[in-house]
Amino acid sequence: MKIHKEGRRILFVTLLVLLALNLLLSRYNGPNVAFNRIFAGVSVVVFLALLQFFRSPFRRLLTHEDLLLAPADGKVVVIEEVYEPEFFEDARRQISVFMSPINVHITRNPVSGIVKYFKYHPGQYLVAWHPKSSTQNERTTVVVESDAGPLVLFRQIAGAMARRIVWYVNEGDEVSQGEEFGFIKFGSRVDIFVPLDAEIKVELGQKVKGGETVLCQLKG
């Protein structure tokens, strides 16, 4: 397992701060041994929590042009027909994956193809499962013309804890299924919008893995 590049600086700074605080307590709060030990234990827990959040585990990626893969680790919280107003302006099937703070927060391309549209939206930080988070929270929207033919829209959405969305794609880029297209720090969700005739392969409440779990099959 590797540490993702988005976490290396945060982990380094956190380690320095925690070490400095523990050294200061050891020097100036020596008589209070019990407190110093508790603080040291909490420091270890905090650092390990950050370490697991920014982990980048090896994935055996499944690739096929007509299969749409989960863009992130998490749980399927929405499967429904909706009106998509930003790009398609018509009815689509929405699949949403919620990422808790213990999930890997790397976001991956669900399909291979060409990026036809990209836009970053600043916004609020409602909890990620809030119905309005898809249109009011900080988010990015990516539309890819898949190798199978259909256009697929996917959206990174910041949650209540998330305060930064990172993306690695722009309009005109050629993207490969399963490769990273971004990272969301500290809690979030990803919405995917596919044609109504796509065959859904997951169920509500199902846990999925980015780059491995098949969400649906596209009709070419």
Distance of CA 70 to the CA centre of its chain: 10
Distance CA 28, CA 187 (A): 37
3-state secondary structure of 30: coil
Tokens representing 220 are 């070419």
Q: Residues in the chain, how many?
A: 220
96 is catalytic: no
Distances (CA, A) of 209 to 30, 33, 180: 47, 44, 13
**Alpha-carbon torsion (141, 216, 160, 16), positive or negative:** negative
Distance of CA 127 to the CA centre of its chain: 14
DSSP string for residues in 106-133:
EEE-SS-EEEEEEEEE--B---TTSTTH
CA neighbor of 116 nearest in space, from 175, 65, 40 = 175
**Which residues are marked as active site?**
188
